[in-house]
Homo-oligomer: A and B are copies of this chain.
């Protein structure tokens, strides 16, 4: 068998590891700052989390059921506790849906949110990149608030 660069199971674990770190970053924010603190005219971190939540499970549902969806990042939460509950629910749902992707699908194209036509592996890596990108921004918010963020390498 030809060796694999990364297996499907490893990719799922890698993504969930990143999500575990993002959860710690959410937890590190005081509730008020999670919803209101910004720098440079950017969004508060809660709005970025609403975007991440609007991408992960809806995308996997769209792909696994082969059903087009629209992008809707209107937050389902108004408190830190509700955001954390949403995050945990998404984590469970990802673990349900991700294994339903066949290995062959990762090299197939899929049109997501009616416009992004990429290979499924490219979509998944984009989800992860986008999460790391916004989480990196949250690190600056936390530092500017005088709060020590979680260690970046604690992705487990």
Contacts and interface: CB of A to CB of B under 8 A. Distances in A.
A39 B144 contact: yes
Copies of this chain, tallied across the complex: 2
Contacts of A104: 3
Give the dominant DSSP class at A's interface: helix
B152 A107 contact: no
> Size class of A's contact patch?
35 or more
B136 A133 contact: yes
A68 to B, nearest CB: 20
A7 interface: yes
Interface of A: 1-8, 10-11, 14, 18, 39-42, 103-104, 106-107, 121-122, 125-126, 128-130, 132-137, 139-146, 152-153, 155
